[in-house]
A = this chain, B = another copy of it.
Amino acid sequence: MSKPTPISGFPEWLPPQRMIEQYVVERIRSTFELYGFAPLETRAVEPLDQLLRKGETSKEIYVLRRLQEEGPGGDDALGLHFDLTVPFARFVLENAGKLKFPFRRYQIQKVWRGERPQEGRYREFLQADIDIVDRDTLPAHYEAELPLIIGDALGGLPIPPIRIQVNNRKVCEGFYRGLGLTDPEAALRAIDKLDKIGPDKVAALLAETAGASDAQAKACLALAEIRTDDASFADAVRTLGVSDPLLDEGLAELVEVVETAAEHAPGLCVADLRIARGLDYYTGTVYETQMQGYERFGSICSGGRYDNLATAGTDRFPGVGISIGVTRLLGLLFGAGELSVSRSVPTCVLIALPAEERRRDAGRIAEALRRRGIPTEVSPSAAKYGKQIRYAERRGIPYVWFPGGDGTPDSVKDIRSGDQVDATADAWTPAAEDLRPVVN
């Protein structure tokens, strides 16, 4: 065969980058577990009709066909999931009888979208989601809890600071309704385009698709301009002179989100009333997240409350969730040359080989070190010691172990400093910071 080439939109990291990714995922996962979220994985495929419920994204779906199968597949055609929320909602409905509600779960998996690839946007990428669903009703306090978890998960990583922008659909819809607009959904979709097309075109769109007068469009845009990192946004909204019970409910919920976050982690959250999220299924708080210095690439962590996604017959499971775009986050940072790891392998110690006949002796030393949790490899060959040391050097392995024999003890060398000491495999311990690769 000829030398293979990459496929656009399907990123693959080299091992050092994958080590960084694992470190990041591990941090996210352990934070989710500290907050009591249980793990879940759903299958990669969903019935096509399930995936198409969300309308707008239909064009991005990858459909599956078995190679030997005839025809394009009928009612039971399967597609790859494009997010983890739709599969989760389906899982909850399917397994409601076996789950305990409120149900807190996290899910860290690849998703696929047939979009045109560009920087920070992929066809295959890793998402890390948390969601809380309950039966029939879901208290609003969970909407205030999620940003704290994201702040903790990402705050402990060597990445630029993040800021979570929050809004509430009830604020927008209540405001639009209070203004006299009859199609708040259309207004929301127009406002969602503000960053992309600017206020003038949004005003035109509001007139065209939501039937807004000039004054109404102006008020919608004024609302979208409000942005505060404390609860004062509520006063700013009230100054616009619109009143509606749904608006009041949304403002109270949003105040709770912003105040809870301010107490937990000052600067983490900002109320930003232009945040709409394109997806139709959100009904309360919505989240987007910007990483400092990478704002132009869009949100790296988004979500919101959805009251009607997991509904079948009389079963109804309102939920709230948020999703970290792990691949987007890392793709941007790798692209900028940020993030590094102290070595390209997990190995802490290389056992040098005085002669090929001594491979089993070397294996016993390695075994003793591994039993004590020290990642160890045996040298690939009994080449000259200089060559064996270079094997370690090129991979960043910090220590080389020299088996003794004939009365000489074993010794271990820190090949960075050149320090060499006598050692026994059941007692020697590396410096704590050398045990595992360190991500910076």
Q: Could you list which residues of chain A lie within 8 angstroms of chain B, going by C-beta atoms?
A: 1-7, 10-15, 18-19, 21-22, 33-45, 47-48, 50, 53, 58-69, 72, 78-80, 90-91, 93-95, 98-100, 102, 104-105, 110, 112, 114, 124, 134, 139, 141, 145, 148, 152, 260, 263-264, 311-313, 315, 344-347, 359-360, 363, 367, 370, 373-378, 380-381, 394-395
Contact = CB atoms under 8 A, between A and B. Distances in A.
A67 B39 contact: no
A155 to B, nearest CB: 12
A141 B312 CA distance: 58
Nearest to A110: B44
A69 B346 CA distance: 43
A271 to B, nearest CB: 18
A88 B337 CA distance: 25
30 contacts: A1-B50, A1-B311, A3-B93, A3-B94, A4-B47, A6-B94, A7-B45, A7-B47, A10-B43, A11-B43, A12-B41, A14-B95, A14-B98, A15-B39, A18-B38, A19-B38, A35-B375, A35-B376, A35-B377, A36-B345, A36-B376, A44-B110, A48-B67, A59-B66, A60-B66, A63-B67, A64-B64, A100-B395, A102-B380, A104-B377
Contacts of A78: 7
A346 B36 contact: yes
A194 to B, nearest CB: 27
Chief secondary structure at chain A's binding surface: mixed
A151 B329 CA distance: 37
A131 to B, nearest CB: 12
A359 to B, nearest CB: 6
A120 to B, nearest CB: 17
Q: How many copies does the complex hold?
A: 2
B41 A18 contact: yes
A346 B38 contact: yes
A363 B146 CA distance: 12
Contacts of A12: 41-43, 91
A374 to B, nearest CB: 8
B61 A62 contact: no
A94 B4 contact: yes
A249 B288 CA distance: 62
Contacts of A99: 14-15
Given A10-B45, A15-B39, A63-B65, 5 more contacts: A14-B98, A34-B346, A60-B66, A64-B64, A64-B80
B50 A134 contact: no
Nearest to A22: B39
Contacts of A22: 39
A59 B69 CA distance: 9
A110 B110 CA distance: 10
The CB with the most chain B CB atoms within 10 A, among A10, A15, A315, is that of A15
A67 B44 contact: no
Nearest to A80: B64
Contact of A65 (B62, B152, B311): B62
Contacts of A345: 36-38, 104
Given A47-B7, A346-B38, A376-B34, A64 B62 contact: yes
Contact of A67 (B40, B59, B141): B59
Given A65-B63, A139-B380, A260-B360, A100 B344 contact: yes
A93 B3 CA distance: 6
B10 A264 contact: no
Nearest to A142: B380
